Structure 1
């Protein structure tokens, strides 16, 4: 029996069902989706064309297990990284629930320890890169490596130092409730740059960007001081 397309005033919910089906079941053919969602093949292809144009989906050759038959393999539709990002809210809720449990069982110190541990890999990777440039150039170099990791960072000069803006924060929704995520990042910046840093604004607090003041790198002295990160007033 031919599937009957469900009529909807707004196509967006149906497209969400298409992407959700692919996310849950893996790369799928148009025929698979039509059967799974009880839509006509023509309707499915219309939605697939739209999702392809938006960059939510991409096409791949279907993987054949066993002996391959004649003809070209069927095309399957797979979700892209951009498509996955539309489902990030569910992961945010899971992360918040996990950190709430950690806070209840281990206290705020346990949450802070997790936040620091989460960034330890980035710090190890960034440190040798920044060590290759002069201290005065390190804020700009830090912004470049952050941008390469998707933070969309930029810098601007001020009389007192450098202001670094991060236009994207992958943990903004989590940091709204757990500012330790921002504090740990500030601590990492301070260690990498060898100077204290000060948060001026954060996306988690409702600001448009995360802004951090990076003072000029201190000159070498016989007595070294341990860099610190100034906390954003609550």
Structure 2
């Protein structure tokens, strides 16, 4: 299919450090695939599982928009800006690393794993003052897409330094929706969190990903009860 790329769940990179299992859609750390460096400005999409009381020690970032979306459990965050927070399912966290930050992330629970998405997006403005934000998303309605991220400070969800929009929703089997792009120059990366869907005629299962560009809308049909994340991003750095 023209202007489409599909990444099946079982073709992702896998890092297993014992305390961490990370499934990586794009090249990251020890996983390198020259055909999977990024999708437009979407640089990292890691599907991480962290054991009880374990986590990532103090480490730096700069000039990257870093988004965390918890799926199960609770994640403790601390950073060099003085922020200390716990993020949990139904919330989204964003950091604009800008001129540079350090942070740690640990599983709050001693015995149960925490599962979360770690997403990196190249910014459209470099060397900004680092910033942090975290909000609860009111997922109180099924069968609709909830906007969880945008470029706008006064819009729904968190905001980042990039012309990007993220939407997330849960859908009943048989439901069908259309997504209209905010910017026709953008592409959309669809990531299936759970379930079985059809996007513009292409069949996707749990943890499959699909990128589309040179289109102004998507048609999504839920073949089973499903949860899906859409990431609309510029295709050029």
The normalised TM-score by structure 2 is: 0.24
Q: Point out the structure with max Rg over C-alpha.
A: 1
The normalised TM-score by structure 1 is: 0.24
Greater length-normalized contact order (CA 8 Å, ≥ 6 residues apart): 2
More strand by share: 2
